[in-house]
Structures are given as structure tokens and as C-alpha cells.
């Protein structure tokens, strides 16, 4: 397993992109929009920062400071999810689902401290 990305909700996506790319030298790796939320991935080969921007101004995270989640790469989202549910019985934010637009299978659970963890399986 690897840490893939950490997600932050941001107020100004263009300013954020400029800060991390021009200011810190990170690469803008890829992006997609889902349910009106623009998701921008910045970083390098060893991990990314996912910046989430809702033009309607909705900060959808429940954690102070705009923290979204930490993504962990797994071989099988379903197996990792089942194993966690058997051992830890974590609060579940989203059961396993396939995101066809980005070719991933994901699930979202909370760790013991209430941080949201995304389990990510790359399908192809």
C-alpha cells in the first residue's frame, strides 16, 4: 500500500494552482470535475496534493481547516474495505464504488481519530 494523495478544499483554485506550481515547483499532474467540484492534482512521482474547488462556495468537509481525506492505494478496494469493517468497524462515508471517469474503485472510511481515509484501487 502507498499513500497516494491528501485532499484539501480550497477557496480559490487558480490561486492555489499558482502557489503550488509557480511558488513551490509542483507539477499540475491531472484534473477532473465531478458533481460540479473541480479536482486538481499537484505533485510529483511520490504523492500528490488534491485540491478540491466548488465554485458554489460549498466546503463539503466536516473537518476544520478544509481537510478532505488521505488516499491510500490498495490492491482491492472491496477486500480492504471488508477487512477494515471486520477488524475496526469504522464509520463509513461511502461504500465501495467504481468511478468510471477516472478508472478507479474507491471507498471512504474514518480512522480512529475521525480522519477520512479513501481506499483507492486502480482498475487498469
Active site annotation includes 118: yes
Active-site annotation holder among 79, 94, 118, 121: 118
Which residues, in sequence order, are bridge partners of residue 71?
A: 5, 118
Which residues, in sequence order, are bridge partners of residue 60?
A: none
Q: Return d(Cα 118, Cα 71) in angstroms, integer.
A: 4
How many other C-beta atoms lie within 10 A of the C-beta of residue 3? Answer: 12
Q: Return d(Cα 82, Cα 59) in angstroms, integer.
A: 29
Question: Which residue is listed with cell 483507492?
Answer: 120
Residue from 62, 18, 72 nearest 40 by CA:
18
Q: Return d(Cα 56, Cα 29) in angstroms, integer.
A: 24
So which residues are the catalytic ones? Answer: 118
Amino acid at each position: 500500500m502507498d499513500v497516494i494523495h491528501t485532499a484539501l478544499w480550497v477557496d480559490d483554485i487558480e490561486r492555489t494552482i499558482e502557489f503550488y506550481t509557480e511558488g513551490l515547483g509542483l507539477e499540475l499532474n491531472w484534473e477532473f470535475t465531478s458533481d460540479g467540484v473541480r479536482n486538481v492534482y499537484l505533485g510529483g512521482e511520490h504523492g500528490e496534493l488534491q485540491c478540491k474547488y466548488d465554485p458554489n462556495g460549498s466546503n463539503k468537509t466536516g473537518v476544520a481547516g478544509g481537510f478532505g481525506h488521505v488516499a491510500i492505494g490498495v490492491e482491492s478496494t472491496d477486500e480492504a474495505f471488508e477487512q477494515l469493517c471486520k477488524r475496526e468497524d469504522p464509520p463509513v462515508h461511502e461504500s465501495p464504488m467504481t468511478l468510471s471517469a477516472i478508472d478507479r474503485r474507491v471507498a471512504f472510511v474514518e480512522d480512529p481519530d475521525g480522519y477520512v481515509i479513501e481506499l483507492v484501487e486502480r482498475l487498469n
